[in-house]
Amino acid sequence: MKIVVRIPNWVGDVVMATPALRAIRAHHADAEITVLGLPSGEKILRGSPRHQRCEVYDREGKDRGFFGMGRVAKRLRAHGFDLAVCLPNSFSSAYIFWRAKATRRLGTDYGKRGWMLTDRFRPAMTGHRREPRSMVEHYADVLGTIGIPRGTADLELFETERGKRHAARTLELLGLGEEDRLVAINPGASFGASKLWVPERFAAVADRLREAHGLKPLLIGGPGEEAILHRIAQAMRTPAFSTADGVLDLDALKSAVKRCSLMVTTDTGPRHYAVAFGVPVVVVMGPTDPRYTESNLDRTIVVRKTDVECAPCHLKTCPLTHHGCMEWIEADEVFAAAEELLRRFPPGAGGRP
């Protein structure tokens, strides 16, 4: 049997799709499984034993636009897939599998794409929106439509030798050794400015964690987030170890996050890296609905204001003047959450694998 799975686009959603990939592999142990995703998804899933090959959909490059989708479909058609699983709700994912002539095409009956699917999952809806539910559970619901059993909800990521070497070299160049205990400070958000927290407050939390617990702050971010990392480093009283001048790619980032004893982050992709590796994580959350990520929270504390009337809005930029959902979260609250996690999961005693 040949199976192709269109993985999500956002970093965090890819990680939250790993239980679904594990369930597909468990149910079809002898199948030839291909994942189709953006170049970022390929880096995230490197090393995974749940699929044999990865087909890259370079929608910003050679596969751009309508004709690019056709080229991707043609590449897939040559493999003669028996089952195609659309995890995203996009029109394009269903269209590519329809054009690829996969025998069965499974996905959420969402928008105007249902006619291209042979097997449809119909979620509970509020108006034109799916009712908020953990993405981990949502993907399991989709698979259940064709009888694939719901497995465990644990997120999983796998290191690669190349990623380990890249991360080790980067940390060494920053002056960090194996004996150093680290706190990952992840202030960015590729989703949009509405998810960003005040850089000076990240700096204050990092300083206090260094002074109270000896955790050295490793500032991490993606391409385009270098300025935020520089601003935090400049605002700190204690030395920061910033990757701004050598951003880790999504493969090497796995090994860097696994080295950490704690993460303090916005609601963005690396948050789920930490969860996958058992690293305790404090999430500063504002405009997003926590129900979409409400799973695997045993080592997570979400800090958010529940009395902000306009949140969650899921807008990329705040249309108001106050941006209260993030601006009103103080450094003291985030530090207290970090202290609670360090008390429950002391570094070197279960705080990280």
Reply yes or no on whether the pLDDT at 67 is more than 60: yes
Please list, in sequence order, all residues whose beta carbon lies within 8 angstroms of the beta carbon of residue 146, skipping any fewer than 6 positions away.
83, 104, 106, 119
What's the pLDDT band for 25 if we cut at 50, 70, 90?
very high
pLDDT of residue 189: 74
Q: Which residue has the higher pLDDT, 174 or 127?
A: 174
State the average pLDDT over residues 83-107.
97
Residue 194, pLDDT > 90, answer no
Token look-up 């270098």 returns: 226
Tokens of residue 184, six digits = 């990952």
Percentage of the chain beyond pLDDT 90 is 84
Domain ranges of the chain: 2-144, 161-344
Is the pLDDT at 26 greater than 50, yes or no? Answer: yes
> What's the confidence (pLDDT) of residue 14?
98
Candidates 100, 82, 80, 83; CA nearest to 92 is 100
Note the pLDDT tens digit of each residue in 136-192.
Answer: 999 999 999 999 999 999 999 999 999 999 999 999 999 999 999 999 999 987 777
Q: Residue 353's pLDDT band (boundaries 50, 70, 90)?
A: very low
For domain 2-144, the CATH superfamily is Glycogen Phosphorylase B; (3.40.50.2000)
Work out the percent of the chain whose per-residue pLDDT is above 70. Answer: 98
What Cα–Cα distance (Å) separates residue 276 from each residue in 15, 44, 113, 216? 8, 12, 32, 21
**Region 226-236 average pLDDT:** 96
The correct CATH number of 161-344 out of 3.40.50.12780, 3.40.50.2000, 3.30.1490.190, 1.10.150.120 is 3.40.50.2000
Residues 72-94, mean pLDDT to the nearest whole number: 97
pLDDT tens digits, residue range 255-308? 999 999 999 999 999 999 999 999 999 999 988 999 999 999 999 999 999 888
**351 pLDDT band (50/70/90 cuts)?**
very low
User: What is the reported pTM?
Assistant: 0.94
Indicate if the pLDDT at residue 336 is higher than 60.
yes
Q: What is the mean pLDDT of residues 113-122?
A: 96
**Bridge-partner residues for 107, per DSSP?**
120
Name the residue among 263, 244, 245, 242 with its Cα closest to residue 254. 263
Contacts of 309 (CB under 8 A, 6+ apart): none
Mean pLDDT taken over the chain? 94
Complete edge-to-edge strand list for the sheet that includes strand 104-108 = 53-56, 32-37, 2-6, 83-86, 104-108, 119-121
* CA distances (Å), origin 32, targets 16, 53, 81, 105, 194: 22, 8, 9, 16, 41
Fold agreement between 2-144 and 161-344: yes
